[in-house]
A and B are shown apart, each in its own frame.
Chain A
């Protein structure tokens, strides 16, 4: 097949995904939209009733909402890893994943960004987290990791959005040629009148490289800052130096799992098997395995050093994690995060898409449970026995969390119909 035909087929195939949606699509969109609406409704109920409608109580003052916040921010990181970090390492296999991965990042950060608001008792005062001059001469406490979070996550969202949009510009130019009516106007405006002239490509290339160079330290720093929400405390299980790289590895691990969960069905439904191949998935599976090993290492070191030190609080806490009230969650977490991914050492399993899809679901569950275990067990069982207490989620908690999944999938479905799910330009570039 000549290159010209290949280019045309590529454009047709990818843009075909943006055609009129099927019934299945509408059903999926309606379902996830309904979940999202339920979540928002329950949030409204919580604002009216008070934060006590959730299960948050003394001593577990941070529970499911923060679990979800960390979970979604973590998911976002792998998208940036695939698009920015792998770009700097000149890994060719990224070009079939990076568009979906970048979309996943932007949508995940948006989802995550809701939770700091949701877990506020008085949501209407959220702007107090921003440093603005006010008549009481008060400023935000820059020494607090929560404020570092504000800066880190906002920066991450902004830069990811810019990076996502930049990558889209040439593809939007492709889309505008094939679109009609209102859609055509939208793509024309969004593509900024891109022409593909040499000087435009010259500037574009530099921009893309600098954005990738900016996004790379963000991958490491943002989840490190999120981990410091916990590590800056003094309670056993939270106050430990390894949290920063451990959380970053965990983020990439969970995000890679989510990429597989999203792209395996998307590829099948949209008929993109030619462009997203089994080899691509095998490379992603290797990243999954590698990050799983780092997370397992962190589990081992945390446990081992707690017992090594003989510190009565540390040993008590880790015994509680392993054998206490939340032990089933902990064991499930170990199974999903440390044991099951080891099967990826076998090549046939790495290349089996059904297996990868099922494994990725387990990884998502396992990583959600990891955040749950870390947050809840540490708060439930810290220094003073008088201060011990359990956490039980309410329907509001659970409903809002499910609503966040609804929001994520709903927005991702909308993305698949509005924008090219594959980076047409990059696939063309690497076609030869």
Chain B
């Protein structure tokens, strides 16, 4: 593992803390958006490797070690969440909460779940890279932690803004998106690797592109299941949530963009075999999906809390720096002895 990954991650967290302190309350819930994107991407990346390990999939072999060695990044997120906990007052339930929506409990359980994911990843990756038995059991534990963390992200971080609105599919929706982001990140890594060494990595690139295609469909199915249920039932408590986001101008455009970024473009492009084999095309589609994810968070959160337009790209860049370093910049990965 590259020796700069952890120090860079630590520096990122400190810089974000400095930025939040400097800008104060005007940052609103910007950090939430930045955190969600990068946390889901990093967690999804390891989740993809864990799923491949469990299903005995061999396609990921050429890139597996590099993917697994991004695991130290996961420790950034509990720290960032603790920084975010200063902004809890944007949640409407802070003053008159319930047993579940109580500030201290909220912070503890979410930080704990983020830590749990990082710890589970640590053990899973070390055991897998050592080639020791029991890696599969640890893969299962990681995936369980991942599902719990992503579900809490959906229900606690996002859905609670709209209390008492509930959407039972929100949790699975988030972890499918996280998985999708993991595939995008892997695809980007593979695109870069194929650019340098076509013969070794192109078949794997094709497999990752096929997964992108499949997940675009799966995502569309999940979105449709939510939209159809709310649209059909037409219950005022539920429709209000959707209406707030589709009837107002900037949000409506973001929604359409998200639909294209997550589904229409990956589906339409990845149907062609030539596209699946081309690193620039696959890379571009992967970046588009990532952009779609960020914009979708804005779609969820803009009606609920302020997001600072300058701080957002800054925080995305700051938190993203070690991630991009660990996945795309680092040339050689040395497996720890």
Binding site for B on A (CB under 8 A): 89, 91, 217, 220-221, 224, 228, 231-234, 239-245, 297-298, 301-302, 305-306, 308-311, 314, 345
Within 8 A of A (CB), among B159-188: 163-172
Q: Is B240 an interface residue (CB 8 A)?
A: no
Decide: A241 near B230, CB < 8 A? Known: A305-B168, A308-B98.
Answer: yes
Complex alpha-carbon distance, A91 and B55, angstroms:
9
CB of A39 to closest CB in B, whole Å: 34
Binding site for A on B (CB under 8 A): 55, 57, 98, 100-101, 140, 147, 151, 155, 163-172, 217-218, 221-222, 225-226, 228-230, 232-233, 235
CB of A226 to closest CB in B, whole Å: 13
Across the interface, which residues of B come within 8 angstroms of A310, CB to CB?
98, 164
B172 contacts A233, C-beta separation under 8 Å: no
B164 contacts A241, C-beta separation under 8 Å: no
B168 contacts A233, C-beta separation under 8 Å: no
Decide: A231 near B164, CB < 8 A? Known: A245-B169, A245-B222, A308-B98.
Answer: no
B235 contacts A302, C-beta separation under 8 Å: no
Return the contact of B166 from the options A89, A228, A233, A305 (Cβ within 8 A): A305
Q: A232-B232, A298-B168, A308-B164 are in contact. List 17 more A-B contacts (CB 8 A).
A: A239-B233, A241-B168, A241-B170, A241-B225, A241-B229, A242-B168, A243-B225, A245-B225, A301-B151, A301-B168, A302-B168, A305-B155, A306-B166, A310-B98, A311-B166, A314-B166, A345-B140
A240 contacts B100, C-beta separation under 8 Å: no
Q: Which residue of A lies closest to B175 (CB)?
A: A297
Chief secondary structure at chain A's binding surface: helix
Across the interface, which residues of B come within 8 angstroms of A301, CB to CB?
151, 168, 171
19 contacts between A and B (CB under 8 A): A89-B55, A224-B225, A228-B228, A234-B233, A239-B233, A239-B235, A242-B168, A242-B169, A243-B229, A245-B172, A245-B222, A245-B225, A297-B172, A301-B171, A305-B166, A308-B98, A308-B100, A309-B166, A345-B140
Decide: A220 near B221, CB < 8 A? Known: A234-B235, A308-B100, A310-B164.
Answer: yes
Going nearest first, the 9 A-B pairs with the smallest beta carbon separation are A242-B168, A241-B169, A244-B225, A242-B169, A305-B166, A232-B232, A309-B164, A309-B166, A241-B226
CB of B40 to closest CB in A, whole Å: 18
Complex alpha-carbon distance, A234 and B239, angstroms:
12
CB of A274 to closest CB in B, whole Å: 22
Complex alpha-carbon distance, A25 and B226, angstroms:
48
Across the interface, which residues of B come within 8 angstroms of A309, CB to CB?
163-166
Complex alpha-carbon distance, A91 and B221, angstroms:
24
Across the interface, which residues of A come within 8 angstroms of B166, CB to CB?
305-306, 308-309, 311, 314
Return the contact of B221 from the options A243, A244, A297, A305 (Cβ within 8 A): A244
A311 contacts B164, C-beta separation under 8 Å: yes
Complex alpha-carbon distance, A301 and B232, angstroms:
22
A221 contacts B171, C-beta separation under 8 Å: no
CB of A355 to closest CB in B, whole Å: 20
CB of B290 to closest CB in A, whole Å: 24
CB of A378 to closest CB in B, whole Å: 14
Decide: A239 near B229, CB < 8 A? Known: A302-B168, A305-B166.
Answer: yes
B147 contacts A297, C-beta separation under 8 Å: yes
Return the contact of A241 from the options B57, B155, B167 (Cβ within 8 A): B167
Across the interface, which residues of A come within 8 angstroms of B222, CB to CB?
244-245
Across the interface, which residues of B come within 8 angstroms of A311, CB to CB?
164, 166
Across the interface, which residues of A come within 8 angstroms of B55, CB to CB?
89, 91
Complex alpha-carbon distance, A182 and B156, angstroms:
67
Across the interface, which residues of A come within 8 angstroms of B169, CB to CB?
240-242, 244-245
Q: Which residue of A lies closest to B210 (CB)?
A: A88
Complex alpha-carbon distance, A241 and B168, angstroms:
6
Across the interface, which residues of B come within 8 angstroms of A306, CB to CB?
166
Across the interface, which residues of B come within 8 angstroms of A298, CB to CB?
168
CB of A210 to closest CB in B, whole Å: 13
Return the contact of B233 from the options A233, A245, A308 (Cβ within 8 A): A233
Across the interface, which residues of A come within 8 angstroms of B101, CB to CB?
308
B155 contacts A231, C-beta separation under 8 Å: no
Return the contact of A221 from the options B172, B221, B232 (Cβ within 8 A): B221
CB of B102 to closest CB in A, whole Å: 12
Complex alpha-carbon distance, A305 and B98, angstroms:
13
Most buried by A among B57, B101, B170, B221: B221
CB of B24 to closest CB in A, whole Å: 32
CB of B111 to closest CB in A, whole Å: 20
Q: Which residue of A lies closest to B232 (CB)?
A: A232
Most buried by B among A89, A239, A245, A302: A245
B172 contacts A224, C-beta separation under 8 Å: no
Q: Which residue of A lies closest to B151 (CB)?
A: A301
Complex alpha-carbon distance, A220 and B219, angstroms:
12
Complex alpha-carbon distance, A311 and B98, angstroms:
13
Complex alpha-carbon distance, A139 and B147, angstroms:
45
CB of A303 to closest CB in B, whole Å: 10
Most buried by A among B163, B168, B170, B217: B168
B217 contacts A231, C-beta separation under 8 Å: no
Return the contact of A217 from the options B164, B217, B226 (Cβ within 8 A): B217
